Amino acid sequence: MLTIALTKGRILQETLPLLAKAGVEPLEDIHSSRKLIFPTTLDDVSLVVIRGTDVPTYVRYGAAQVGVVGKDILLEHGADGVYEPLDLGIARCRLMTAAPTGRIRSRGKLRVATKFVNVARDFYAEKGQQVELIKLYGAMELAPLMNLADEIVDIVDTGNTLRANGMEPLEIIADISSRIIVNKAAMRSHHAQVRHLIERLQSALDDRGQGQ
Ligand code: PRP
C-alpha cells in the first residue's frame, strides 16, 4: 500500500486535479467528508488529509510514504528523513517580511511576529539585525496593529490581507510552492510505486505547462 499525505486547505484544492490527471482519484468527495483516510481509484494507493505542519512528520516516520506540502513548512520545520523530488508549482506564494505602510523603522531591536520563527531567526541573523521573535499561530497581520510587533514574517499571495490591514510587503525571504516529499526508506521499499507516481505527476505538470 502507498499512502499519500495531503495538506488540507488551498493546497488540497490544487493538488486533487493534479492527482486526478496522474490517475489517482479519491473514491468519495474529500471536501464533503469528515473522513481522514480515502481509498482511491488505484487499489494500492490511499490518501490522508491533514494539516501541512503534520505532513512531514507522517512522511518522516514512514506512516505515509509520500506527502504534498508547502516549501514554507519544509523550510520552517526541516526536511530530515525525506527526499523532495518534485516541485508541483502549485499554491505559489512568497514568504516575506511586512510592516505597517510607511512605517519609520526605529533603530535597535525589532519585534517580529511570525509562525515561521526558525526561518525568521536565520533571515534576520544573516542581515545582522537584532530581533525579538514573537511566535503566533495565525492572523500575524494583527500584531503590528495591536502594537505587539514592529513587523511580521508571513506568507503573501495576493497581498490583499496586508493591504486590508494597512501593511505593505518589504523583503522576499523565499518563493514558496508545494512539493512532493518521499520517505527515504520508502524510496527503496516502494521504489516502483513512488517512481510511477512521480512520473505521472511530472507528465500531468508537463501537460498543464503546454496548456492542455
Ligand atoms: C495566509 C497568510 C496571510 C494570507 C495571505 O493565511 O498567513 O494571512 O494567507 O494571502 P493574501 O496575500 O492573498 O492576502 P491563510 O489564509 O493561509 O491562513 P493561516 O493564517 O492559517 O496561514
102/166 same-domain check: yes
Gap between the Cα atoms of 148 and 202, Å rounded: 44
- Return the best residue to mutate from 92, 157, 173, 176 for the ligand 1 pocket (most ligand atoms within 8 A of CB): 157
Cα–Cα dist 176/94, whole Å: 5
Whether residues 12 and 61 share a domain: the answer is yes
Nearest to 54 by CA among 37, 40, 70, 30: 70
Domain of 65, CATH number, reads 3.40.190.10
Question: What is the average pLDDT score of the chain?
Answer: 96
- 158 and 189: one domain? no
Do 204 and 169 fall into the same domain? no
Residues 34 and 87 in one domain: yes
Owning domain of residue 8: 2-91+177-211
Looking at the fold, whether 193 and 154 belong to one and the same domain comes out as: no
Atom index in ligand 1 nearest the CA of residue 157 equals 12
Q: Are 79 and 25 within one domain?
A: yes
8 Å CB contact between 125 and 192: no
Does residue 139 share a domain with residue 105?
yes
Q: Are residues 98 and 72 in the same domain?
A: no
Q: Is the CB of 138 under 6 A from ligand 1?
A: yes
Q: How many domains does one find in the chain? A: 2
The predicted-structure confidence for 167-192, as pLDDT tens digits, reads as follows 999 999 999 999 999 999 999 999 99
Ligand 1: atom nearest CA of 164 is: 14
Q: Does residue 116 share a domain with residue 55?
A: no
107-158: pLDDT as tens digits: 789 999 999 999 999 999 999 999 999 999 999 999 999 999 999 999 999 9
| 191-209 vs 10-21: helix crossing angle, rounded to 10 | 100
C-alpha cell at 84: 523532495
